[in-house]
A = this chain, B = another copy of it.
Amino acid sequence: MASLECLDESTMSSESPMTTRPPSRQTSVHWATGMRYRNLGKSGLKISCIGLGTWVNFGTQLSEETAEEILTAAYESGINVFDTADLYGGGKAEIMLGKILKKKGWRRSTYIIATKLIWTGKSDIERGLSRKQIIEGVHASLERLQLNYVDILLVNKADSMCPMEEIVRACTYCIHQGMALYWGTSRWTAMEVMEAYTVARQFNQIPPVMEETEYHMFQRDKVELSHPELFHKIGVGTMTWSPQAFGLSGRFDEGIHLISRGSIRNYSGTSDKTASDENRSPRHQAKIHQLSFLVEKLGCTLTQLYIAWCLKTDCVHCVLVGASSVGQLFDHLHALQVLPRLNTNVVNEIERILSNKPIRPPVTR
């Protein structure tokens, strides 16, 4: 079978030539924080380039007051993307988020809720990605969130045991029933996303609009090699999260340690033993060391550099951050001010330090 690389835009016959649009994306800017807005992939949905994740602490570590303060600060700073999941805090993240949204009473059109179905975390009898799992999952999330619909329904991990047609039809059903406005994927391979798109076109269903994935300086291959292709060929947008942007540590290596040590581990598909070991290697520590020098020159923190650097990446439409306090959120938002300082020289310097720029393997026939 033809590899992904061989897929050519001209063969995507079900997309009208009329719908092709130029890759350059217009942005508008928030007056106070300099927040930028981008279309999510080639969809019409305008999102802030930084989104707030509720992964680590909503519903568990944070008091409701602090959570409300953070959410309010985010909203007022121009963040309009709030990312959550059914399993975060065993459902408490969605409950807390919904409670705060209800209390604040913001116009529904001013924010975007993305929630994930994490079927892999369910009990044996409920595990498996099926039409039943998807529809019942969305119903349960909406009840916890006290919303009539989520903006983006994200299916977390593909299920090799479930036909793609069933997933695509179930997500389209949720959209046609008004339970979601868009659907997307999370932690899928580019090939799986492409299959979802193909099946959606085959049966005139609605294709996914985005893929959410882990992305940081030390895990670059998927986003930098595959996602531009997904964006340019089928319009799929990218949201990214990374351990350090979730405020797990001021220093990156500590963040990695936290992940490899603890409860968060289960959610992370990539932070396995090997990666963790690699992160403690002297070579890795040397890179962190050199980045610290650079950060000092730039007048920002390592985390701000991490976030700004992600924002700089081609086809990354939204970087999700976490925060355990309003202060930490503002710290992260400062990355927007760091962004303009990442000129060609700085970017080249970072590449020199990292020495891990992904290269597309040569096509062998």
Contacts and interface: CB of A to CB of B under 8 A. Distances in A.
Interface of A: 1, 14-19, 21, 25-26, 28, 30, 37, 39, 42-46, 48, 78, 80, 107-110, 112, 122-133, 135-137, 140, 151, 159-167, 169, 173, 175-178, 181-182, 195, 198-199, 202-204, 206, 235
Given A135-B181, A177-B178, A44 B124 contact: no
A136 B162 contact: no
A182 B162 CA distance: 14
This protein's copies in its complex: 4
Given A19-B164, A112-B132, A132-B151, A203 B204 contact: yes
A110 B123 CA distance: 9
Contact of A202 (B14, B126, B178, B235): B14
Given A19-B199, A181-B135, A46 B127 contact: yes
Contacts of A44: 128-131, 133, 159, 161-163, 166-167
B110 A125 contact: yes
A18 B195 contact: yes
A270 to B, nearest CB: 23
Nearest to A151: B132
Nearest to A166: B44
Given A132-B181, A177-B178, A125 B80 contact: yes
A166 to B, nearest CB: 5
A163 B43 CA distance: 6
22 contacts: A14-B202, A16-B165, A28-B124, A39-B128, A42-B163, A43-B163, A44-B130, A44-B131, A44-B133, A44-B161, A44-B163, A44-B166, A46-B127, A46-B130, A78-B125, A107-B126, A108-B136, A109-B122, A109-B140, A132-B151, A169-B206, A173-B176
